[in-house]
Structure 1
Amino acid sequence: MKILVTGAYHKDHEKTKNLIKGLKLLGVKIIELPYRSLKVDLAKKIALLSRNVDAVFLPGFTHSNVKQIKK
């Protein structure tokens, strides 16, 4: 299983780190792509990566990014 973790999240946030660590321990391949602001080229990269993963996960406090990622 592959999961794309993206959004304007902080990689150092304890809950996010623990969740990603736990998924990796279960054998899930994690592709991390955090960003500060979503530019056109980054949106294209996310669209391309999302075609080859089983799920796209936006960590806590990234609810405002859902609309952007959904496009």
Structure 2
Amino acid sequence: MNVYKFHDEYTLAETADKLGKKALELHLIPSFVVRYFPDSRQYYIPNEQESQPLTPEQAYMHLKKLVEASGK
């Protein structure tokens, strides 16, 4: 049975933040920017000038795929 690391929008965003930090540590992405708004967050990967903002859901899926593909 899968154990999920998030249960709502806030914990999903927190999980995406942790995956972003892990991807940075593994040198899978050159940068990771999170813009915090009162009701949401926007993620920029690899940087704000070259990418569209991602929702927490999109960032989670993208970062999860990168980290899993690295095998670490």
Q: TM-score, length-normalised on structure 1?
A: 0.35
Higher strand share: 1
Q: TM-score, length-normalised on structure 2?
A: 0.35
